[in-house]
Structure 1
Amino acid sequence: MDSEEEEDEGEGPRRRERRYPEWKPKRDLKEIITLIVGLKFSNPTEFKETLKVFAVQNSFNYIYKHNEKTRNSANHHDNKWATVRWAANRSIDSFRDQRNLKPTALREMIWRNYHVEFKMLSCLCAKRMALEILDGIDGEQYKHTKEYANALLQWNLGSSVFIHRDGVFFQMMYVSLAACKEAVARDANDDIYPMAYAICEAETRDTWTWFLKILLDDIGYDREHMWSFMSDRQKGLVNAFEDLMPGAEHRYCVKHLHVNLKRKGFKGKEFKDALWGAARAPNEIQFKYYLEVIKGIDQIVCNYLEKINPKMWSRHAFFTTSCSNILLNNIAESFNTWLLEARDQPILSCMETIRRQLMNRFDKKRVGAATSTNVICPKIVKKLDRNKKEADAYICHWSNGLQYEVDHSHEPRRVVNLEARTCGCGSKWYFADTYRLSYTPNINPMLGPNDWPIDRDVDPIEPPVPKTQRGRPKKIRRRGDNETVLDESTRVI
């Protein structure tokens, strides 16, 4: 029988202690707080923060009456607790799920749940404060970069992590995960395959030289002639290639070349078609033919193109050992789009976002490759089907063995040697088995910062000295004249 009194041996009756419910903190913006008599809190601070949220939810204010060691009292009053810090604390979970949540959406969410109207500037400040709570202050993360590097090496054996600093100030950080070293920048399905990534102050000759030296150590100097690099002709990068890899194939992006020429005044569809015709020329004869066409359009631009080595921008002069004949570096542009979320984050949060994106990408590709039943990769099958339709316009004349003359009504005659594979078809690079092997290695998961190996360095790394430029900070890269703006639904595949 339930009774408020109990008998103890050798003692008189005593009153049983009542059990009160304990408060469980809620940080979700949509959670409705309910306070009842007898609710127990861990400490006065937790009670005050909860009472503040409860007051905002119910549109009233309060004034503390008096405080005791185990009890706080307050009187009802008008509402004034909807501050920026309050909004930041209540929106942490929302920003954890969606970092790009706009201030307008935050404003609507607060109004919908609390019927409190915030100014846009207050919502912007609340967003900035919530992200700082999630990520920590930017400068503090630099002090833990060594611990993060040790954690990467511990949970992903065989990875490469290097940090370069000037005295105690951070300058650059290089990361190449062990799983990413198994292939090149394009996989067997012609998809992007990041090998390494780095953070630096600016793209200069020194930073590119530092990055490429470490990258060459990872991929091997002895196979220098087997690698093909493509860039947009940045001065620092071009000089770094000349110093470190004079024997490697270095191509220029034809799209960037065309944009630069357009800015110099060389425009028009006729010039564009001739330029791309020279870039796609399968042999030197056609290459010279298109140069003559360009010469007829403008002698100055023809002289400019003749000064550039054809090995850097025309397909006929590419290395025969190369497995790729691409003329564009849109793979790098896709990677930049893929990194938009990480670029605005503090350094360690940025690195972790990239690592997690790579881990999720490897898992997605691994599952897709395992379920594929085709012998050849899906994208390559589509290319072959497209080539089959275009092949109807070709007429083949057998010569001897596996050599053929191929005629086309709108193109010059070509000679195809199937035994030597001079057409580039039939390479094992595009088989599904090669695709599966690319994503066989795992990017292992990591524990959080509290479990990273402790670094005992007496000189912790400090953030780089800021170099503030005039005007408003630019977050969006300036696009070329012929580039289209990608919408938010664009994804790297």
Structure 2
Amino acid sequence: MATRNLLFQVHHGGIIDRRQNGEYVGGKTDVYHEPYDEDHLSWIEIQTIMAKYGYHPGDLVYYRHPSLRMHNGLKLLTSDHDVLSMVAALQDQQVAHLYLVSHSRTSVHQSSLHDHHVEEDVSEDEEEAEARRLGLNDPFWKEVLSSEDELYDIDVNTVGTSRSKPAQPRSKGVESQVTVDDKEPQSSSDAEDEEDEGRNQDRSGPRWPEEDDIGNCSDMTPSDVLQSPVHSGDEGHHDFKFPEFQAVDLEKPKISVGMKFGSTAQFRETIRRLNLNIGKSIKFAKNDGDRVTVVCNTPKCPYRVYGSWIRGQQTFQIKSINPRHDCSRSYKNPIVTSSWIADKMMPLFISQPNVPIKALADEIKRKWGVEVPKMKLYRARAKAQFTIFGSHREQYAKVWDYCETLKQRNQGSCLLVRVERIAPELPPIFQRMYVGLAACREGFKAGCRPLIGLDGCFLKGPFKGQLLCAVGRDANDNMYPIAMAIVEAELKDSWGWFIETLISDLGQQPEGGWTFISDRQKGLKPAMEELVPYNDSRICVRHLYANFRDAGHRGVALKEKLWQAATAYTKRDFERAMEELKALSQPAYDYLKVIDPSQWSRAWFNTFSKSDLVVNNLSECFNAYILQARDKPIVTMVETIRKKLMA
């Protein structure tokens, strides 16, 4: 259903005269320039219209019921409830009549008439000066003050605060009631004393409410409410100023009616954080580009906050608040989304990108008292990692630039990228990347043993793949990374490409050539037989025993004999261990007999490698060393590993 736009015919600058059946006299009538959607209309918009015509907080505004006359159809507007009643009363009509009355003019009438009765001994000069000060020389006021008839009869039930006292009428010609609570009336003498005191202060209008008078309620007490006092005759124009929300208050926010925000996102986050701090679950019942309505997730809970954009401004404003929650504390809050967690826990994710899910859940529960499902935490961590490291797909487009940067910063480095094209008109697809830093290569050739361990490990990103590495052993028998490659899988072709590039990158081989040790991964053995058939090649005994056991040769005795043969320093000791193994199990002996002992027993190793290593734990240590980098996008992963190598 289409909503209705309301026009306002505003009567301003006059008074309500009971001599003329409550007609509005002495003023002007204008049509407010901007129509308002009835669904957006609130007490805030009415105050905006009043300010447009020079009226201020404390002044009065009435609307006329369309089916009644002036003497019985004027209704005072003081709140959103009254505005809703006005909209309902207008029914299908599109024009509303507003009548504005300045409270300062009513105060002047009261004070002037009181002075006329009780200050008869004042001299003529003093009376004339006082009249000039109050602006009573105006012909309008002279006519008003000379009349014995009643000018108006107004019931101001909502003006003032809980600290205001009921004022007694000061003259027969004026009646005004300013009551806001149900306290017992004061005695006549008390009221007169208070009025005498008030007359010596400010005659411009009622006292502006202090901070304590403004809708204090639970966690929504306004902290810095910007208020403007009622204007006096010589102060000029003062606009009513509502508080603006400051981002620094977001940890412990407080809101109030009229508070302004720079965006709906800021408003939503403020309401979300406010209710999260008190353990309440909310939802956005209406959440479009123009207005936002927030209600409690618990049925029949009266909590409600409504806000909308101010016409003609880039300002979002709270129009109404019911801050009362009748529901109990909620430990499962749907407003805590994975995106919200990723944003709020970003400092933790930056310091620990792979923070354990349990630790993340415990930290969220400690800070906000909310229990979050595990899958939501996994998604939150993934989103945070995306923000920190970027997109896996997008980083493949930056590989070329990254390689060129490394070549400039570490001159002499070998960085190769291999791509494949499905069709000439299609962009290339990443296939492989070789990373050989000049500093690592030269250090290996200058101070390490001529032994190279080869191994591979899985990548954990969305595009998978394998990371192949070549690791040496320095003079202290510590691991020394030489080069690495990112390939599609452990295949003969990929291993062959990596070994061929590595041999070319290392250059001239030392005396006796390079010695390789590996786990005999898939595709590695045929690649080495094809590319380096004359180089020494060792088998990691730990993996040899794993295959030996899987072949059915189990038992502690067989295991001990295999390791005795592998670690024997002389051929005689090797033969003795093999004979003892044969006595225990002929099939086990036959299994090992067909494997060249120079690949797995120290007794048969040559001395050019300067190492008697029988296990490939160097490569295993390197794989564990880079574990935290293997799930990152490709450029971030390589850069993380480079930093670890350079540390």
The aligned residue for residue 171 of structure 1 is: 431
User: 1:208 Cα shift?
Assistant: 0.6
The SS at the match of 1:116 is coil
Question: Taking structure 1 as reference, are residues 143 and 43 closer, same or farther at Cα in structure 2, changes over 3 Å only?
Answer: farther
Q: Determine which of 548, 560, 582 is the counterpart of 1:273.
A: 560
Q: Does 1:239 align with 2:458?
A: no
User: 1:232 Cα shift?
Assistant: 0.9
The aligned residue for residue 207 of structure 1 is: 494
Q: Determine which of 276, 280, 289 is the counterpart of 1:56.
A: 276
The aligned residue for residue 65 of structure 1 is: 307
The SS at the match of 1:195 is strand
- Higher-helix-fraction structure: 1
For 1:359, the aligned partner's letter is M
Q: 8 Å contact 2:244–2:261 — kept in the other structure?
A: no
Q: 8 Å contact 1:281–1:314 — kept in the other structure?
A: yes
The aligned residue for residue 299 of structure 2 is: none
Q: Determine which of 341, 352, 357 is the counterpart of 1:98.
A: 352
The aligned residue for residue 396 of structure 2 is: 142
User: 1:49 Cα shift?
Assistant: 4.4
Q: 8 Å contact 1:343–1:350 — kept in the other structure?
A: yes
The 5-angstrom pairing of residues 356-375 of structure 1 reads 356-360=643-647
Q: Does 1:196 align with 2:483?
A: yes
Question: Taking structure 1 as reference, are residues 178 and 57 closer, same or farther at Cα in structure 2, changes over 3 Å only?
Answer: farther
How far, CA to CA, are the matches of 1:279 and 1:157 in structure 2? 42
Q: 8 Å contact 1:92–1:131 — kept in the other structure?
A: no
The aligned residue for residue 578 of structure 2 is: 291
The aligned residue for residue 120 of structure 1 is: 374
RMSD: 3.2
The SS at the match of 2:534 is coil
User: 1:100 Cα shift?
Assistant: 2.3
How far, CA to CA, are the matches of 1:175 and 1:22 in structure 2? 52
Identity of aligned residues (%): 36
Q: Does 1:132 align with 2:355?
A: no
The aligned residue for residue 251 of structure 2 is: 32
Q: 8 Å contact 1:160–1:177 — kept in the other structure?
A: yes
Q: 8 Å contact 1:165–1:172 — kept in the other structure?
A: yes
Q: 8 Å contact 1:156–1:177 — kept in the other structure?
A: yes
Cα shift readout 1:111-141 (whole Å, capped 9, x = no counterpart): 2222333222222222222222222222222
How far, CA to CA, are the matches of 2:505 and 2:259 in structure 1? 60
Cα shift readout 1:345-402 (whole Å, capped 9, x = no counterpart): 2222222221222222xxxxxxxxxxxxxxxxxxxxxxxxxxxxxxxxxxxxxxxxxx
For 2:417, the aligned partner's letter is I
Question: Taking structure 1 as reference, are residues 251 and 119 closer, same or farther at Cα in structure 2, changes over 3 Å only?
Answer: same
Q: Does 1:249 align with 2:536?
A: yes
The aligned residue for residue 551 of structure 2 is: 264
How far, CA to CA, are the matches of 2:260 and 2:437 in structure 1? 49
**TM-score, length basis structure 2:** 0.48
Question: Taking structure 1 as reference, are residues 148 and 323 closer, same or farther at Cα in structure 2, changes over 3 Å only?
Answer: same
Q: Which runs of 5+ in 1 are unaligned?
A: 1-12, 361-493
Q: Does 1:331 align with 2:618?
A: yes
Question: Taking structure 1 as reference, are residues 160 and 67 closer, same or farther at Cα in structure 2, changes over 3 Å only?
Answer: same
Q: 8 Å contact 2:260–2:317 — kept in the other structure?
A: no
Q: Which runs of 5+ in 2 are unaligned?
A: 1-235, 283-293, 295-304, 326-332, 422-427, 449-471
The 5-angstrom pairing of residues 366-445 of structure 1 reads none
Cα shift readout 1:168-215 (whole Å, capped 9, x = no counterpart): 222222212222111241222211111112222211111111111111
The aligned residue for residue 454 of structure 2 is: none
The SS at the match of 2:499 is helix
The aligned residue for residue 413 of structure 2 is: 159
The count of aligned residue pairs is 342
How far, CA to CA, are the matches of 1:274 and 1:96 in structure 2? 51
Q: 8 Å contact 1:84–1:126 — kept in the other structure?
A: yes
How far, CA to CA, are the matches of 1:260 and 1:114 in structure 2? 52
Q: 8 Å contact 2:261–2:315 — kept in the other structure?
A: no
User: 1:245 Cα shift?
Assistant: 1.1
Q: Does 1:303 align with 2:523?
A: no
For 1:103, the aligned partner's letter is I
Cα shift readout 1:92-123 (whole Å, capped 9, x = no counterpart): 22111112212222222222222333222222
How far, CA to CA, are the matches of 2:373 and 2:607 in structure 1? 62
**Larger gyration radius, structure 1 or structure 2:** 2
For 1:72, the aligned partner's letter is F
Question: Taking structure 1 as reference, are residues 211 and 131 closer, same or farther at Cα in structure 2, changes over 3 Å only?
Answer: same
Question: Taking structure 1 as reference, are residues 82 and 276 closer, same or farther at Cα in structure 2, changes over 3 Å only?
Answer: closer
How far, CA to CA, are the matches of 2:407 and 2:357 in structure 1? 38
Which fold has the larger relative contact order, with Cα–Cα distance below 8 Å and residues 6 or more apart in sequence? 1
Question: Taking structure 1 as reference, are residues 84 and 294 closer, same or farther at Cα in structure 2, changes over 3 Å only?
Answer: same
The aligned residue for residue 225 of structure 1 is: 512
Q: 8 Å contact 1:23–1:39 — kept in the other structure?
A: no
User: 1:309 Cα shift?
Assistant: 1.6
For 1:32, the aligned partner's letter is E
